[in-house]
Amino acid sequence: MDLRTTYMGIELKNPIIIGASNLVLDLEMAKKLEAAGAAAIVYKSLFEEQLHLEAAELEDELHEYDNLHAEMTSLFPNIEHSGPKAHLLALKKLKETVSIPVFASLNCTYDVSWIEYAKYLEETGVDGLELNFYSTISDVEKTPAEVEDSRIDILKKVKDAVSIPVSVKLSPFYTNLMNVVYRMDKVGADAFVLFNRLFQPDIDIKEEKLRVPYNLSHKGDNRLALRFAGLLSCNLKGSICSNTGIHDGEDVITMLLAGANTVQVVSTVYKNGVIQITRILEELSAWMKEKGYEKIDDFKGKLCKKNVEDPHAYRRGQYVDYLMKAKEYLKKYPVN
Ligand SMILES: Cc1cc2nc3c(=O)[nH]c(=O)nc-3n(C[C@H](O)[C@H](O)[C@H](O)COP(=O)(O)O)c2cc1C
């Protein structure tokens, strides 16, 4: 079975990409993922915020004993935080270790850093760059237009600064996501990763404290990504990579039918092990064989918005259908 697909201008041997996570910090694990059939890897994001925090911690540690001697300005006068160097080195190592494409991922705090770090990441030899536009905006004065304009401006500047393909990984929480995507498509985003799964804090009611749960997705969490793959895929220049809640072969097939070029998986590997990649590829091949498809393009986008009978299907909230056929649904799903 021919599982090849094209993602932001790069041919991949199949649509399964390992999403950014801690999974590939270990090179042995990266090799295993490649052997299991993964077509590409996104390396963990370079988070500018983390670098600043580490640098501040180091500064504190270096000055911890300063008051031991009145004339001593510092015990370690010449030590500085190495900035992104360790990350860049690890990324370079990963690129040398596997033969599948490797993508870097970037999340910055300051506009100017996006461009500077994007260039550093490109120098490691990676095949593409994912801009992880993850942030929880907590500034009440900021308008949606300001947030969106600044993202689009960053994308434009990064595109001008590097020559590798650039994708954007978005959250679904924009006022008008379709508009944001279309504007980014116009300024040349090579792909859209839909969607990032934002960190959600929880509260421990026994201890009455905030806690940090391990944020893995579950099967069924893919519906939002599916809707937007269906809505957007037939109308964009950039590729679509569906993400969040893709756990098995069935989930991958649904995304391809909706028009995605690729998918990214993380949680399913944490939950089911590396072997899950092989299983997904087997399930995809078996389904294609059963349906008589020889290659991905034979069915990719078959159910995108412009190809389905009911063009409103992706737009209309399911509840409208419930309202129209209330009695039918009550019979089907009786309430005790
Ligand atoms: C442990 C862990 C680390 C992650 N690190 C990153 C990261 O560095 N950058 C990023 O863009 N997403 C990161 N993610 C989010 C994943 O790439 C992915 O978008 C999310 O888990 C949804 O996909 P899934 O349902 O297959 O897990 C991380 C997720 C997990 C569980």
Q: Evaluate: CB of 274 within 6 angstroms of ligand 1.
A: no
Mean pLDDT of the chain: 89
Reported in sequence order, the residue ranges of 2-45 that DSSP labels E, i.e. its strands, are: 5-7, 10-12, 16-18, 40-42
Distance CA 293, CA 319 (A): 34
pLDDT at position 321 over 70: no
Q: Evaluate: CB of 132 within 6 angstroms of ligand 1.
A: yes
The minimum-distance atom of ligand 1 relative to the CA of 265 is 26
Are 283 and 248 in contact, with CB atoms under 8 Å apart? yes
Distance 21 CA to ligand 1 centre (A): 5
Q: Evaluate: CB of 169 within 6 angstroms of ligand 1.
A: yes
pLDDT at position 248 over 80: yes
Amino acid letter, 143: T
pLDDT of the residue at 55: 60
Please name the residue whose Cα sits nearest to atom 5 of ligand 1: 21
Phi, psi of 280 (to 5 degrees): -60, -45
The minimum-distance atom of ligand 1 relative to the CA of 214 is 31
Name the residue of 199, 218, 266 whose CB sits within 8 Å of the most ligand 1 atoms, as the mutation to test its pocket. 266
Phi, psi of 239 (to 5 degrees): -80, 160
pLDDT, tens only, 123-174: 999 999 999 998 767 778 889 899 999 999 999 999 999 999 999 999 998 9
pLDDT at position 329 over 80: no
Among the listed residues 18, 16, 9, 11, the one whose alpha carbon sits nearest the alpha carbon of residue 164: 9
Q: How far is CA 213 from the centre of its chain?
A: 19
Distance 293 CA to ligand 1 centre (A): 32
Structural domains in the chain, sorted by start: 5-303 (3.20.20.70)
| Cβ burial, residue 82 (10 Å; 0-12/13-18/19+) | middle
Are 12 and 32 in contact, with CB atoms under 8 Å apart? no
Please name the residue whose Cα sits nearest to atom 12 of ligand 1: 20
Phi, psi of 91 (to 5 degrees): -65, -40
Distance 306 CA to ligand 1 centre (A): 31
Q: What is the pTM of this model?
A: 0.89
pLDDT at position 231 over 70: yes
pLDDT, tens only, 164-221: 999 999 999 899 999 999 999 999 999 999 999 887 788 999 999 998 877 899 999 9
DSSP structure class, residue 26: S
Distance CA 234, CA 244 (A): 21
